[in-house]
Amino acid sequence: MSSTTSRTPEHVAIIMDGNGRWATKKGWPRLVGHRKGAERVKAIVRVAPDLGVKWLTIYAFSTENWKRSTEEVIGLMGLFGRYIQREAENMSREGVRMRFIGDRSRLDVKLQDMMRWIEERTKDNTHVNLTVAINYGGRNELTRAARALARQAVETGLDPDMIDDEAVSRVLDTFDIPDPDLVIRTSGETRVSNFLLWQAAYAEYEFTPVLWPDFTPEVFAEILGRYGARDRRFGGVGT
């Protein structure tokens, strides 16, 4: 995989949808779809830098996903832990920097420890940045940001009139991550589902009917090609 488009998005965010349907169609438990989905994550992270993508942010578990069966929630949490464990060596070798966004406080403490551990272990890697959203919701993130700013106003005398876009960005989970250029959603759904509400203000969106477990590097490359043909004006009139 070597071709890059004329204009490649530096940061691609992905709503990985369709694992459950993929498995059900084959008569398998939903968790088999999530396991296959995790393999896809690995393949897409590996190919991303070759396609010119330096930043990948993936939606692995939303603040709404707790409503799923206990079996599925526990299965997904186990999968995240195993991914960190199994991929730590590969990520170090391949220069992947791993981060997490979302409210960690509700996660199992052992998983929280592993998340901190892999972030620390990969913090000097620069080849590609993988950010995984776990217990993430855009509204929840903005609510926590509002609390942080209110706390600063009370505790350090921050002047409310000094709060601008930059100040808000600085207290989001993504404070050290650029905004996404492109958001991809798989499985034919055309909703935003509370993903990166602030950060995707000027992002392009691409929707594909492909279910996440079938999302190959070739499908990824084709979508990036479509993005390359777009004209982004950021609210201006263009050239």
Residues that bind ligand FPP (CB under 6 A): 16-21, 34, 37-38, 41, 60, 65, 79-80, 83, 132, 187, 212
The answer to whether 17 is a known catalytic residue is yes
Answer for the pair 131, 60: CB distance below 8 angstroms, yes or no: no
Based on CB atoms, which residue is closest to ligand FPP, 171 or 211?
211
* Inter-CA distances, 155 with 145, 148, 149, 170, 171, Å: 15, 10, 10, 17, 15
Based on CB atoms, which residue is closest to ligand FPP, 133 or 145?
133
Catalytic pick among 19, 50, 65, 164: 65
For residue 172, what are its two tokens? 């989001």
> 73 exposed, middle or buried (CB, 10 Å; 0-12, 13-18, 19+)?
middle
Q: Which residue is nearest to ligand FPP (CB)?
A: 20
- CA terminus-to-terminus distance, the chain: 32
Task: Looking at the chain, list the stretches that DSSP marks H as alpha helix, in order from N- to C-terminal side.
Answer: 19-25, 30-47, 70-94, 109-121, 138-156, 165-170, 217-228
Based on CB atoms, which residue is closest to ligand FPP, 89 or 147?
89
The minimum distance between CB 43 and ligand FPP, in angstroms, equals 12
Catalytic pick among 17, 129, 135, 173: 17
Q: Which residues, in sequence order, are CB contacts of 150 under 8 Å at separation 6+?
A: none
Based on CB atoms, which residue is closest to ligand FPP, 73 or 142?
73
Q: What backbone phi and psi angles, to 5 degrees, belong to 233? A: -115, -10
Q: What backbone phi and psi angles, to 5 degrees, belong to 77? A: -60, -40
Beta bridge partners, 13, equal 57, 183
The answer to whether 90 is a known catalytic residue is no
Based on CB atoms, which residue is closest to ligand FPP, 9 or 20?
20
List active site positions: 17, 65
